[in-house]
Amino acid sequence: MSAPTPASATGRSRRELHLAAFFPFGPHYDWTSVADPTTYYDAETYAALARSAERGLFSAMFLGDSQRLREHLGRVNDTVVTGRPDQLVLFAHLAARTRHLGFVATLNTTFMAPADLAARVATVDRLSAGRAGWNVVTTNDAWTGANFRRGGYLARSERYRSAEEHLAIVHALWDADQGATVRRTGAHHDVVAAATLPPSVQGAPVIFQAGESDEGRDFAARHAEGIFSRYLEPAPAAAFAADLRRRLVAHGRPADDLRIFPAASVTLADTEAEAREKAEWFHRRTWTDRMVVAVIEAVWGRDLSWLDPDGPLPDVDPVSAEQTRTHGVVNSRDNPVETAAAWRRLSAEQGLTVRGLVDSLHAAAAFVGTPSSVADRLAAAVRAGELDGLNLTPQSVPDGFDDVVDRLVPELQERGVYHTRYPGTTLRENLGLRAPVRHRLRAAAG
């Protein structure tokens, strides 16, 4: 087991920002920056990004995941990268090419057997000498479940109950001595399995979570050590952090026991005006006419390739009064007719074109400015306790982090909110985390 982290000894009196390399789905990249789109699946592309992140002392690399290729109007969506390499295979490869960077895999409790997941994550953790993490996600998505011949088998109300059982089995296997047998029987899982590896050198892989619901936040407060959020503006970010701290204390944990990572891009330039111009150029480069119209098509449920993105919304209605999110990426709630009516009202009130409406609905979470001004904003947010880290989305590959590493990181270090070297050798140490949650709660209970 690694030595106690500074957070264990100090109660985390000094706040620091943590950066993570984050790869979501959607129009986040300048797709035209590479000649061959298969570049997005090449090991060397990811290795170059990982090396850049490690040069910038990033704490981790985090990948979003999808268990089925996303669709648009019943066809595989070809306007964004819809598939990913197997995260754990990729991370095992990258672990051999880095020394300090952590690797957080998004893995689904609904579709992955707990014993198999425990063994695979533990393998990456062992190969990387304690640099692995697991972003625990759940779903009752029948569309995805069909890929596993499980369409619709799990009620929405049961997904976190299933996740609780799943996580308990994984934890039991991670805590057991190599070769020891773990037996667990529950409503969703009935397992007899042996621990395949010795316990982790960091105590256990770090647990992340990304749920927004009350159930999700409570799950994070009971189990997680990091949480991904969508809150960047001061007031909602502070409210989200305060709510999580309250829940942590209610579950017997210190209020500073969870690291909050909102996702954002960073656009830097020598002046504020140049940075805004650069961000606008990137936005227009990524939100093409086709992608703008696709947002409307997803709600209307029909081909609208004739639609002028700089004109009004279509005067025809959606083809269906009901829609779910279980068939891929969509951009509405469950009632397309109501959504279309709301969008028409908004467009009329604000005089918006189709493009203007899509821009207002998909305003990117971003920090735009000079290295100094962006560092000031991030330092203030960290010191105010609004966030602990940033899931940084690159705008291109494989050089998408270089500006942040070369220009922003030094400014953050000058302000005393970013480390000048890696604090330790494990992901847990580098995030300033205490021992695994369940180990401390078990010890406190005697």
H or E, element range at 170: helix 159-175
State how far the Cα of 52 lies from the Cα of 406, in Å rounded to an integer: 10
Annotated binding-site residue? 46: no
Q: What is the DSSP letter of 2?
A: P
Q: Cα–Cα distance between 82 and 69 in angstroms, integer?
A: 5
160 is in an annotated binding site: yes
C-alpha–C-alpha distance, residues 237 and 224, integer Å: 18
Beta strands in 197-332 (DSSP E): 206-209, 226-229, 259-268
CA distance 158 to 162: 6
Cα-based angle 177, 179, 185 (whole degrees, multiple of 5): 90
In contact, 69 and 37? CB cutoff 8 Å: no
- Cα 101 to Cα 277: distance, rounded to the nearest angstrom: 33
Helix (H, G, I), strand (E, B) or coil at 312: coil
Q: Which two tokens stand for residue 254?
A: 């210190």
419 touches 409 (CB < 8 A): no
User: Which pair of tokens denotes residue 172?
Assistant: 């039991």
Flag whether 157 is marked binding: no
Q: For residue 333, give the DSSP letter.
A: -
Is 106 marked as binding a ligand?
A: yes
Rounded CA gap, 289 and 95, in Å?
39
Tell me, rounded to whole angstroms, the distance of Cα 74 from its chain centroid.
26
Report how far Cα 271 is from the mean position of its chain's Cα atoms.
30
Q: Which of 47, 34, 170, 188 is nearest to 114 (CA)?
A: 170
CA distances from 335 to 104, 139, 292 (A): 35, 20, 20
**Please, is 131 exposed, middle or buried when counting C-beta atoms within 10 Å of its C-beta (0-12, 13-18, 19+)?**
buried
Residues 6+ apart with CB under 8 A from 204: 171, 174, 175, 436, 439
Query: How many other CB atoms are there within 10 angstroms of residue 373's CB atom?
Result: 16
Q: Which of 181, 178, 191 is nearest to 117 (CA)?
A: 191
Binding-site residue positions: 65, 106, 160, 213
Binding-site residue positions for FMN: 65, 106, 160, 213
